[in-house]
Amino acid sequence: MAIRMDPHVKPASLLLVNAQETAERFDHQVIADLIALTIRTLGPKLAPVCAVIFPASYVVESRWYQTIAAEKGLRVGLFKDESSARDWLSAYLPTPSSS
């Protein structure tokens, strides 16, 4: 809840989830619960897109994550490395206001 209430975090902030180092296996329900918790916890601070980096062996889990998130209105890009994830997210950065 701290992020949701933090005035320094702008509404609709982009999220990058780096789960590359995880060794825990996730079933469909756990992934659904994690996504629901993320959306509920971040609330309006979360943009409708996020990037996720899973280990290469998590093909099924990454697709579940993407599908479940889409059902909740969150577009998820799946990536193998942080650089690619950041490049994709950069397309969703707000354009600077012209003076």
- Compute the distance between CA of residue 92 and CA of residue 15 in angstroms, rounded to an integer: 11
Q: What is the mean pLDDT of residues 68-83?
A: 97
Return the pLDDT at 95: 76
Residues with Cβ < 8 Å from 18, sequence gap 6 or more? 53, 82, 85
Q: Say what the pTM is.
A: 0.86
Return the pLDDT at 3: 83
Return the pLDDT at 62: 95
Kindly report, residue by residue over 14-32, the tens digit of the pLDDT: 999 999 999 888 899 999 9
Residues of the chain above pLDDT 70, percent: 96
Of the pLDDT bands very low, low, confident and very high (cuts 50, 70, 90), residue 2 is: confident
